Amino acid sequence: MSFNINSYNTATKNLSLKEKLGQLFMPAAFINDSEEEIRELENLIAKQHVGGLCFFHSRASAATNFEGKKQIVYNEQSLSTLKTLIQRYQKAAKYPLLISIDAEWGLAMRIENTPQYPYALTLGAIQDNEDLIFQVGQQIARDCRQAGIHWNLAPVVDINNNPKNPVIGYRSFGDDKLNVTKKAIAFIKGTESEGILSCIKHFPGHGDTATDSHLGLPVIEKSKEVLMENELYTFREIIKQGVDSIMVGHLSIPALDNGEGVPATISKKIIKGLLRQELDFNGVVISDALNMHSVSKMFPTKGELEWRAFDAGNDILCFAEHTAEGIEAILSNADPLDIEERFKRIWKLKEQAFAYLSLPSTNHEKTSILNKHLAKESLTLFTGSRNIIKEFRQEGFTCISLGESPNINFMTAASKIANERTQNKDNVLIALYPPKVKPQNNFDLKIEELEQLEALLNTKKVILYVFGNPYVLNLINHKAAKAVVLGYQNFSEFQNIAFAHFMGKQKAKGCLAVSINLKKK
């Protein structure tokens, strides 16, 4: 679907002040909404003239619904539903909507049966090959365009220096500021090459916290000097290179706002002072989702949070739940010149987004080829050596799979080799498939599985291949293994490359991008 969008000079004359203010709002749209909910959003678009939508899978999948335990319903037709909804919502809009989504590792982050690429932490393991990261950003951008999406709210540039971080972790390129910056810039350039907007997040840095900002307000007690040297380094350097937008996180960092410690999303000192003046960022500032409990619970009066977020300096209010009340509150309090300044930035962003009209087709074979290259470059021999694995293989071995995965290519192929040879019960090849990528509840590994793994490490000669978040190694005495190999993803391409490595036919070129703690006995 293509649109003609007026130039800013024309738009500023044609839109009323209230319509211009509506352009600052980006409410959530859910792919699996009911017809009644869809019509409610169409009505909101038509009446309040919101500037864009941010798409999520379903209301049950929203992170703030963790405590509600709502069941996420699988929808095989999510992609076609998304495309249909975009058309409906665009039709309801007086002015073309800017469509955004979180596609950090591809549309699969939100939509079933769409291409998935490796998590940022996997890409962080790739050494001296930024062109591959560029290709990931490029391919995700093509998938977005094909779906009718203009803006990928990615990449994450937080430095994940806290292993207990419940919300960043695998979404970060690692704990080294130089590595994170290089990877992020390559991803952004790949995204821009296809005309898709990018967004770095979560300013001023969400890496060093053990609190999930969807549910509570993280407090980071570091000096400004330390933050400028590390957490803020990525943002500062990427701003110099150029980036479309920056998302501000719900983070309390007293050192950055003279000890006030209010969430960064509603802090003038952090947005207007640090980001705009000190770091000289002139692009669009978007808030993190305003429904997140770290801030939403602080403002029970409808519209007050929206006003505070605007007043602090956000151009776009993402996932605003009280659009009509927010517009009225801002109209009552804001300087019209300030509204005009924000509107200009947003409309210029729209002009940029709508300049690309052609829609590419999704090539699943190309996705698989790219993932195979990424698997080869990221595979990491964390402990042990090729000779240890070779001797292990020659001596004979048995196989055990722990955890869950949609496919177990590695274990299937390894078991076939084991059965063709004399089995050695003292040698155990373990494929570990953590069911979840997030660390909560031990990555959903069962207590019995962890106990079995620990027992095998202590009594057998173990070679361990991990197909999931490498932070899982913090749960076990991984030093007891003869070798640990990180495959990172459970995709078939990654498992096939890992098996080739086990057979001595593939080198491990990657290097783990974060630190792993040795489990205390």
Full DSSP string of 127-167: -S-HHHHHHHHHHHHHHHHHHT--EE---B------TT-SS
Query: Is 315 marked active-site?
Result: no
User: According to the model, what pLDDT value does residue 75 have?
Assistant: 83
Q: Which whole number is the average pLDDT over 179-202?
A: 97
Q: What is the pLDDT of residue 517?
A: 82
Give dist(CA 123, CA 380) in Å, integer. 11
Domain of 140?
8-29+115-360
- The pTM assigned to this predicted structure is 0.95
**Bridge partner list, 100:** 54, 151
| Cβ(211)–Cβ(189) below 8 Å | no
What does the pLDDT average to over 393-416?
96
Domain assignment present for 345 = yes
User: Model confidence over 255-275: pLDDT tens digits?
Assistant: 999 999 999 999 999 999 999
The CATH number of residue 269's host domain is 3.20.20.300
Does residue 91 carry a pLDDT above 80?
Answer: yes
Contacts of 177 (CB under 8 A, 6+ apart): 159, 230, 233, 234
Query: What is the rounded CA–CA span in Å between residue 384 and residue 388?
Result: 7
Q: Please, what is the angle between helix 130-147 and helix 364-378, to 10°?
A: 150
Does 292 map to a domain? yes
pLDDT at 63 over 80: no
Q: Is 214 a catalytic residue?
A: yes
Least confident of 70-79, 93-102, 449-458: 70-79
Examine the domain organization and report whether 347 and 386 are in the same domain.
no
Q: Does 72 map to a domain?
A: no
What is the chain's length?
Answer: 521
353 or 214, greater pLDDT: 353
Question: Pick the catalytic residue: 206, 214, 322, 478?
Answer: 214
229 with 186, same domain: the answer is: yes
Say what the pLDDT of residue 72 is: 76
- Structural domain count, the chain: 2
Residues 311 and 423 in one domain: no
Q: Which of 331, 360, 389 is the last residue of a domain?
A: 360
**306 close to 325: Cβ distance less than 8 angstroms:** yes
pLDDT grade for 213, boundaries at 50, 70 and 90: confident
For residue 362, the model assigns a pLDDT of 62
Give the integer Cα–Cα distance in Å for 162 and 160: 6
Query: Is residue 62 over pLDDT 80?
Result: no
Strand duo 461-466 + 483-486: pairing? parallel
- Examine the domain organization and report whether 166 and 237 are in the same domain: yes
Chain centre distance of CA 34: 26
pLDDT in tens, 452-486: 999 999 999 999 999 999 999 999 999 999 999 99
Residue-level pLDDT at 1: 47
Could you tell me if residue 190 is inside a domain?
yes
Q: Which position among 288, 293, 315, 478 bears the catalytic label?
A: 288
- For residues 433-457, average pLDDT: 96
Residues 256 and 384 in one domain: no
Q: State residue 446's pLDDT score.
A: 97
Same domain for 130 and 202, yes or no, is: yes
What is the end-to-end Cα distance of the chain in Å, rounded? 59
**Residue 42: CA atoms inside 13 Å, Cβ hemisphere, count?**
16
Band of residue 67 on the pLDDT scale cut at 50, 70, 90: very low
Residue 508 counted as domain residue: no
What pLDDT does residue 365 have? Answer: 85
What is the arithmetic mean of pLDDT over 153-172?
A: 94
* Average pLDDT value for residue range 68-90: 87
Q: What b-and-e string marks burial along 300-320, b requiring 16 or more CB atoms within 10 Å of the CB?
A: eeebebbbbbbbbbbbbbbbb
Clarify whether residues 132 and 205 are in a common domain. Answer: yes
Question: How sure is the predictor about 66, in pLDDT bands with cuts at 50, 70 and 90?
Answer: very low
**Which pLDDT score, from 0 to 100, does residue 14 have?**
95
Domain membership flag for residue 514? no
Q: Which residues are paired to 99 by β-bridges?
A: 53
Q: What is the pLDDT of residue 44?
A: 98
E strand segments, 319-460:
380-383, 398-403, 427-433
Note the pLDDT tens digit of each residue in 341-379. 999 999 999 999 998 755 666 677 889 999 999 999 999
Q: What is the pLDDT of residue 519?
A: 61
Q: Which of the pair, 59 or 84, is modelled with greater confidence?
A: 84
